[in-house]
Amino acid sequence: MSDNATAARRSAIYLLDQILGEGRLLSECLAAGALDRLAPEDRARAQRLTLETLRGLERADRLLENHLNRTPALTVHNALRLGAVELCHGEAAHGVVNSMVDIVGRSRKHGRLKGLVNAVLRKVAAEGPEAWPKMRVPRLPEWLRDPLIMAWGEDAIAGMEKAQFAGAPLDLTVKPGASGPGEVLPTGSTRLHDAGQVTALPGYGKGDWWVQDAAAAIPVRILAPKPGEKILDLCAAPGGKTLQLAAAGVDVTALDVSETRLARMHENLKRTGLKATVVAGDALEHQGQYDAILLDAPCSATGTIRRHPDLPFAKDGSEFGELIEMQARMLAHAWSLLKPGGRLVYCTCSLLPDEGEVQVEVALDQHPDMSVDRAALNIAGIESEWITEEGGLRLRPDYWADLGGMDGFYIARLNKSA
């Protein structure tokens, strides 16, 4: 049994406890230093194990309930869940079972249950690998699944759940004139299905590209920045869209309220050799006049579930109303910062129409000088059926199923009359 493997598993169980027990997002746990003591390869393994367990949680629980008279304490339950997922993914039973028994056995609070862990996981090892692929694709929690079915229908949601269960490949945006690894997607991003360590990929050190989901790269293409323009990127961190704007040769101001998230943007600007004015501040208090504005508004992030399977378990939808109100206020304020004749791209990585289509419909009623630019959506890789009734663009995780899917996004380009 590898000490490193056990350390990674112990950390993954801790992360599962935080997500499923405390309602914390994985990103919050990582930012708080949950894995800082691990070596880089063990940190990567702990994150991978956490994500795989969350994606397969429903299947793991169904396998385990056959061998449990009652649900054990959360930490023990998560050790069993993690062990079941690893066993069903083909990991050697000896290593997994011994590691989980050791982890639980060393716990002062739960050590007496190591015999249970040993017995249950040995039964899962015997029957799980054969049963696993015959089980249904895990479903989203009802608090999220129900409104999504109302919006898009059961077939679409089944496709989204399939995309979430499969996970997400790694997408890159390549600087103009440079090249990047992977296959080129219809919209121009490149994709790798087995990327490995990102920093070891060719071109990383030279700053030839940055990590950015293909869907997240589309808003800047729809904005169509022109060299020399003064453009504001609101809610800009972690900075993928800022890098796109800077690479287009514009005078870009990147604003975000989080200095911690902006630190990552500074790192990427330095690595890529691109320049932007980076400002830490509240989007609702910012002042100025701009030729164009990109507003990637804070949202439920429900469109990113294939990359962030922790989200449906850490959240419960109670914050939706507050987010929708904030989006409306941000869009109205951003409109006041736009010069006459300018253009604004509003986008959210959400699957909920209230955070996308509905926001634009309401804004159009409130601003007589606002119009939707449907022609701006005529860019490479965009399918006509993705264009919505009011003239925005709706992207979903079940699109590009044969290529590995995409994040869910809503995007609309709004023109201000001169």
Give the Cα separation of 193 and 345 in Å (integer). 30
Pick from 9, 17, 79, 81: which is nearest to 47 by CA? 9
User: Is 349 designated active site?
Assistant: yes
Q: How far is CA 285 from the centre of its chain?
A: 27
The tokens for 226 are: 């022109």
The tokens for 14 are: 């801790």
Reported as half-sphere exposure (CB side, CA atoms, 13 A), residue 155 has a value of: 1
Residues 6+ apart with CB under 8 A from 54: 16, 19, 309, 310, 313
Q: Which residues are annotated as a binding site?
A: 235-241, 256, 296
Give the Cα separation of 312 and 23 in Å (integer). 10
Q: Which residues are annotated as a binding site for S-adenosyl-L-methionine?
A: 235-241, 256, 296
The tokens for 89 are: 């993914």
Backbone angles phi, psi at 330, to 5 degrees: -65, -40
Pick from 278, 293, 263, 259: which is nearest to 416 by CA? 293
Longest pairwise C-alpha distance within the chain: 74
Give the Cα separation of 201 and 198 in Å (integer). 5
Tell me which residues are annotated as active site: 349
